Structure 1
Amino acid sequence: MFNFAAEFIQNNNLLINGTLETLYMVAVSLFFGILGGLPLGVLTTVTRAEHILPNKKINFILNSIINLGRSVPFIILMVTIIPITRFIVGSSIGTNAAIVPLSLAAIPFLGRVIDNAILEIDQGVIESAQSMGANPLQIIFKVLIAEALPAIILGLTLTAISLVNYSAMGGAVGAGGLGDIAIRYGYHRFQIIILLKTIVILVILVQLIQFIGNQIADFFDHRA
């Protein structure tokens, strides 16, 4: 009886710690993803032909970066950049180490999401701002980002959900979090209950992120 209770408490503590590690990885990597992905997405849009800062060469380079970054499977990305990860954080395993590839995966993903969100803006709105004498920087911040904000928030939500999935996948190479628990305890030690619990927690996390993202996007959507 006491052994069962001790094991139950231990397993729950393990899952709580794993959940916190997953949230930590997702939050930090999403932050770095925004730092890199937001300017990448905006610049990709505005340098397109017939946009406010058309530049064919720069647009080609930015599009290539996004396409290349999105084409590499995450598990391969994690393994490939192990030397870089070890150089930055001093280790190739653990939650801090996982943040490096997670951030690199988030930047091009979010860049494309933001690019698509801004492209949905009516060209007439941009032309109106130009006719009133707005410079490119003013158009970017006061028109493009402001008008696309609800779609950008939904894009951030989608990115966060993808990072939850990536972090779980990273458990295969010792990234920590719920994925690591599912593999080490649920799969290798045949503790099916722990495996099922990690799945349930991941599903709940995804649902919560989507719900919160939808609510925030609705709040900023002036069309609602």
Structure 2
Amino acid sequence: MDRIRHLLDDHRRLIAAACAALAVLAGLSSLRQAPRTQPVLVARHDLASGHVVTADDVRVASVPRGAAPDHVLRRRDALGRRVAGPMRAGEPLTDVRLVRPGALEGYGPGAVYTTIRVDEADATAIGVGDRVDVVGVDPAGETPAEVVARGVEVVTLPSGDAAAARADAVASLGVVTTEAGALELARAGLSSRLSVITSSG
């Protein structure tokens, strides 16, 4: 035992140095094991509704794996599409935020595309090309329902599997309106539950 004690005393500095080196290696190892990320195409700056996306409007950002939204577009698929409603810098470019090329042809100047979230039951009862009135309903029932937009045309519907009606589920509809109409729909969507009814206009 005395021999071991003397041996430790003689090599104390060496042992301390080895322990310090191990601590450094452990720290470097933890840095190398940082959470895995994935590249996502996002808006480089704020984009106005109806703007046609160019290479200068996008950049690639790294986000934690699994945190990216579904259906993020690749660069080649995003360029040339129109923005469906105003976008903020850093927002991912998905298939519901951008309109396919030519989707607004024939609507004339001032037409913009925007998306609204409605009950899935509403989405199953209408089709592309239908004109609908969008109604805002107070979830608390404290104020009466009001028509937010009249005669907007439906141009995109959720995919077939997403449109199956479920209790309390919502779906995204793409509609064509004016810029003022898109802003009013966005405002109403913040405080009201939106619904659609068939318009005769």
Q: Which has the higher helix share?
A: 1
Give 1 or 2 for the bigger CA radius of gyration. Answer: 2
If the length of structure 1 is used for normalisation, what is the TM-score? 0.21
Relative contact order, higher structure (CA 8 A, sep 6+): 1
If the length of structure 2 is used for normalisation, what is the TM-score? 0.23
